[in-house]
A and B are shown apart, each in its own frame.
Chain A
């Protein structure tokens, strides 16, 4: 593992995400609340990590997707081998897997950035014989939405996306297939925000790899056949914006839950979705594509 030639000089008290200098003893950055362990681990690796951000609206499944993905990597799925750097990197996958094992969805990610999970993994793509260090935060959909709506509301989102080497944009395929416009509009807002954050000229297209992932694809299995055609038909605004402004986009479909039951509380007249079992499908492919592009 050679130190990266392009690695800037990292300092243990300077946040990797926002560049703020923190007291030596700080556990989290005082401004963006990223764990300071990330930069300390990066220094130990002598290699600056790549940040891959998972974005999408609230309840689209970012936490579940990221947790399951990390667990697959940790179990050497596909061509990958992955080593978590620090126990904090394992918290997310543990939370997701243990909840799913108990037939529950994991708790909502709070908007407070100090409560977000962060994962720092050293990943080997065996086919490419290439190691990549990845930092993947699990951001709250509401914080993303608030920042997209009013930039500077959550500056950590701006810093993260600005530093991201690749992004996974998660869209709710089930809603889109039912004709809801919300996933299309949110995706469009998110891409437009990314466009403004990365700020290339109007005659240029953004090269940062973006994987558009159709989540909850078990609700509309047809999107597995041709995700791009599905996006073009059902998330047309997103598709058009991708074509106009982003040079490096690929489309994928993914599903975690195999079958869903509904528990009905007669007293409160509330139905609760219960993930009866998991049937992972299309989780690794978007990530593999992103790693290939880095």
Chain B
């Protein structure tokens, strides 16, 4: 499936400031041999990063589609703390007369700050690679090549309609639930609109995105050990592979057990980990506040434990609550957040907003009292 529409070039090279290490993994004939391997890499690539990249890189038949213009994306954290994003595409015929197309992956290696400059979103990183490589993926073997400039970064949200059906919301919430728990999953995105996979990724808290591996457009291969795989072709074949393993199969028609039910119990205490956060996710998606949810998830750069996310979710709810609170509730909530110590940027922003809203509400109540 051609997902090129979602990989929009993001920057001109002139404005570049993000210098990253990169590597090309493909199959070419060279004096050092042939077959799939890292054929070119910049000098900063460490041996353990090479190993991890080789282990996870797609090889022959790795793209889900036989289309010469097919695109795929793979992203995974590395043991060194960097995050690796690979743009996968076909680059002509396989050169050994064995049939099929040559799979080419251009990997970039981003440190935490560099990945954060792209909102921890591999789609946006891939957009920057597309802007550099153009239509001609590099095939020249090079022992050492210079670093790559990826521009200034980008945090553009996916271009999707904020109004979603309950089926789409259930699908997204199932993915978030599994990703938060750290369960590996394969998400069937067949028939979903463009950008839905990127959206699913962006509604996972940012600090979790840094720790989760993902792929889209690739043939599902358990040996690649990726956490979140989006597939839109070879559905039945993949479902059979996933069956009877610990990897979850997430289908729009059948959300994970418990998903959705939690939303109905909004305001009621639930003992399930992340329940409060999932309720927040669902209600925000249901009410079409997609941009707000994405901004909130982007800002969760710390504490994403069940307690941490529950605190963030409560804080988010309390902003609404405080805006209509009576004097007693206002006093209670204001006291609660008086000495609050935020554990992530999202909480810091929400507390600031809470304090502004509370101050505004206090002013309103005082005006009402004067009028009476």
Contact = CB atoms under 8 A, between A and B. Distances in A.
B224 interface: yes
A115 B54 contact: no
Given A26-B245, A153-B55, A182-B33, A105 B222 contact: no
| Interface residues of chain A: helix, strand, loop or mixed (majority) | loop
A150 B51 contact: yes
Interface stretch (B91-99, B253-261, B353-361): B91-99
Contact of A152 (B51, B58, B60): B51
A192 to B, nearest CB: 16
A111 B25 CA distance: 12
Given A26-B244, A30-B222, A153-B54, A111 B36 contact: yes
A275 to B, nearest CB: 9
Contacts of A57: 33-35
A182 B35 contact: no
A115 B234 CA distance: 15
Among A25, A57, A110, the one with the most B-chain Cβ atoms within 10 Å of its Cβ is: A110
B223 interface: yes
Contacts of A182: 31-33
Contacts, number: 107
Interface in B164-179: none
Interface string A23-62: 1011110100100000000000000000000000111000
Nearest to A262: B97
Contacts of B27: 58, 108, 142
Interface in B243-268: 244-246
Interface string A98-122: 0000001111111111110000000
A94 to B, nearest CB: 16
Contacts of A274: 97
A260 to B, nearest CB: 9
A238 to B, nearest CB: 15
A70 interface: no
A286 interface: no
B93 A142 contact: no
A146 interface: yes
B61 A107 contact: yes
Interface stretch (A226-234, A244-252, A265-273): A265-273
A59 B35 contact: yes
Given A57-B35, A58-B33, A268-B92, A114 B54 contact: no
Contacts of A141: 35
Interface of A: 23, 25-28, 30, 33, 57-59, 104-115, 140-142, 145-146, 150, 152-154, 182, 186, 268, 270, 272-274
25 contacts: A23-B245, A23-B246, A28-B222, A57-B34, A58-B33, A58-B96, A104-B99, A105-B97, A106-B98, A107-B100, A108-B61, A108-B98, A108-B100, A110-B59, A111-B57, A111-B59, A112-B58, A114-B223, A115-B61, A115-B221, A142-B37, A145-B33, A146-B51, A153-B54, A268-B92
Q: Which 6 A-B pairs have the closest CB atoms?
A: A58-B35, A25-B244, A111-B59, A273-B97, A112-B221, A108-B60
Given A106-B98, A268-B92, 13 more contacts: A25-B244, A58-B35, A59-B34, A105-B96, A105-B97, A105-B99, A108-B60, A108-B94, A110-B61, A111-B36, A141-B35, A150-B47, A186-B33
